[in-house]
Structure 1
């Protein structure tokens, strides 16, 4: 997404790659969550905070697509105005991503295809990585080629939950996280391939953005499978039902249909 960018000089046609891929990313999100609803795994009876989380994250998808549409149509005034809103919206996403994850862990409701500690670590790290890429993109707003690539990588990070709803996650245990992460990498790799074909080399925006995405996955694994991850889990879950859950053991398969946000106490 482009948020706070300098005007694009007239006569320069913005690349269609970013518009096309923004629509493709939105399609992945819509497909994933539509499948979740069609399979009966989503409920409008979920706690209010789950709905707020959904509105905030879906809102970002809409913002991302709109910003690319504005660039493609040279509507830069609208692009800049929405950009200031997007900057604040990104902060809301970090807050909601962390809050909902912590509440799920404390309620003992981590998805059964992840160990609870893995879920607790990778979800916040994903939104922190998104925030870092978004902040870097805003800082580079006057360097359009950097700006759009950093936002692109930031958006790609957010696709993991959508891919997780499209993939047969129970069948992927114990590699559910690794598989969804590889799916996320499809978009950064497409960007790199596009750069190589069109420019003859990879723009540093994609090099740095993809490196940060990879680094977040490596850090996730390093923390999860170390005493640090267990210690974090114990602190977060203390005094809650989640404290009685083994942090590094996969929860049992649910005996009833899995419904997102099924416990009001979450």
Structure 2
């Protein structure tokens, strides 16, 4: 209870678990994630195909299949809640935890393999490991929080949505890089601000849309949602800062060089 509430002699209004706008907000955000992933990775595949360079190692195909499986499962979960099929939603949720665990391990392994495989080529960019590693740490933390709050549907679905947006960062980043990356770098430079704008100008607003939705529809944001959003945004900002740090650049170059010898 706030000081103002005590002074007025009433408790603050409880957070409404449902609002009419939720019926379109969560499906719309799910569709946005799909759009970002398809536009980002699909666009990259199209460009590589035109250049005759569309070739990925097996681990990338496995990673793509598992990640797509997560998106399909998340979309199904949103639809099940919308239709009131909560029992099936809960059963599928346990499968989702298993898929999330696989993603948490497979994401870094894929990133390590690709950087070691690209060493000595124009595609080599060891400092970029900051991005997939921060994304998966953000995702894992949000998934664990979502599991912790599984008995609180309003918090749970927001945490799971934030986790899905966070792990889709790579797709959003590829999309924005292709759309206006060169222009942003010319305008803002290749430093922190320019790099953050290129890599996260869609993913960060998508994350912020979750608490903004609650602020507009309920007049307030629950602390767990505010903390979770700050967690997700913070990891993306940290990844950009790390990418530009000389110490991180040197460390990742040594690490990838060592990986390539294995």
Judge same fold: TM > 0.5, yes or no.
yes
- Residue 72 (structure 2) aligns with: 62
Q: 1:67 to 1:120 in 2, by over 3 A?
A: same
Q: 1:212 to 1:112 in 2, by over 3 A?
A: farther
For the pair shown, the structure with the greater C-alpha radius of gyration is 2
Q: 1:219 to 1:167 in 2, by over 3 A?
A: closer
Deviation at 1:233, TM superposition (A): 3.8
Contact residue 94 and residue 131 of structure 1 kept, 8 A? yes
Contact residue 70 and residue 78 of structure 1 kept, 8 A? yes
Q: 1:236 to 1:46 in 2, by over 3 A?
A: closer
Q: 1:49 to 1:133 in 2, by over 3 A?
A: same
Matched, 1:83 2:93: yes
Contact residue 146 and residue 204 of structure 1 kept, 8 A? no
1:15 aligned residue (22, 26, 32): 22
- Residue 161 (structure 1) aligns with: 170
2:115 aligned residue (101, 105, 113): 105
Deviation at 1:131, TM superposition (A): 0.8
Contact residue 107 and residue 240 of structure 1 kept, 8 A? yes
Q: What TM-score do the two structures reach when normalised by structure 2?
A: 0.77
Give unpaired runs (5+ residues) of structure 1: 1-10, 242-266
- Residue 136 (structure 1) aligns with: 145
Higher RCO structure (Cα 8 Å, ≥6 apart): 1
Matched, 1:187 2:206: yes
Structural RMSD (CA): 2.9
- Residue 231 (structure 1) aligns with: 251
Q: 1:98 to 1:41 in 2, by over 3 A?
A: farther
Secondary structure at 1:146's aligned position in 2?
A: helix
Q: 1:168 to 1:227 in 2, by over 3 A?
A: closer
Q: 1:75 to 1:13 in 2, by over 3 A?
A: farther
Secondary structure at 1:238's aligned position in 2?
A: helix
Contact residue 26 and residue 65 of structure 1 kept, 8 A? no
Contact residue 110 and residue 116 of structure 1 kept, 8 A? no
**Structure having the larger proportion of residues in helix:** 2
Deviation at 1:139, TM superposition (A): 0.7
